[in-house]
């Protein structure tokens, strides 16, 4: 039987680093989905994932309830992503990015671009399900909302994505 997060936290706090490696392995997909949901950038999300787990490891002694590791890690990931966004805004002048070339993206690239263009709360829900492999109940647990809220958000996100994909098909000449 697999250990619970609470058991892995306890083992990590007692100095067993392999336990934290197991938690990273267990949660890396949905942490990446949260980071990508906030940032809208998969490349930057990778950096935020690493930093989120680093912050979690350093702060693990401050976790008030071992059973609440997932929501705690979710909060760390969101804050880390927001910190990354702020640092990018401060370090880069605001200029428009011109598209390079006129190569048509592949359908899966277009779909991912449309997901990343959704509002963050929709983007996050879809990415938690698609990349993180989370069920509605897990989305609710991780984000701290109720199951009905998570189901409604996922349904609205899927509808918004369907509208964006339909509009992108109409706008893209074949």
What pLDDT digit, counting tens, does each position of 52-74 carry? 999 999 999 999 999 999 999 99
DSSP 115: H
CATH 1.10.10.10 residue ranges of the chain are 104-174
Asked if residues 22 and 37 have their Cβ atoms less than 8 Å apart, the reply is no
At 75 the pLDDT is 92
Cα gap 158→24, rounded to integer Å: 28
What CATH code would you report for 1-92?
1.10.1740.10
User: What is the CATH T-level fold of the domain 104-174, as seen in this structure?
Assistant: Arc Repressor Mutant, subunit A (1.10.10)
**Model pTM score:** 0.69
Q: What is the pLDDT of residues 85-98, one digit of tens each?
A: 888 877 665 444 43
- Are 55 and 9 in contact, with CB atoms under 8 Å apart? no
């Amino acid at each position: 039987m697999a250990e619970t997060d609470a058991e892995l936290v306890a083992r990590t706090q007692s100095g067993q680093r392999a336990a934290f490696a197991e938690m990273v392995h267990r949660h890396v997909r949905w942490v990446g989905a949260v980071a990508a949901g906030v940032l809208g950038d998969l490349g930057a999300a990778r950096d935020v994932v690493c930093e989120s787990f680093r912050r979690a490891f350093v702060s693990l002694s401050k976790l008030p309830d071992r059973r609440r590791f997932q929501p705690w890690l979710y909060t760390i990931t969101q804050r880390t992503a927001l910190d990354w966004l702020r640092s990018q805004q401060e370090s880069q002048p605001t200029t428009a990015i011109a598209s390079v070339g006129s190569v048509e993206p592949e359908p899966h690239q277009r779909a991912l671009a449309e997901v990343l263009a959704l509002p963050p709360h929709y983007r996050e829900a879809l990415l938690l399900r698609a990349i993180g492999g989370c069920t509605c109940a897990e989305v609710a647990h991780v984000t701290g909302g109720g199951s009905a809220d998570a189901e409604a958000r996922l349904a609205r996100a899927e509808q918004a994505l369907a509208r964006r994909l339909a509009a992108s098909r109409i706008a893209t000449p074949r």
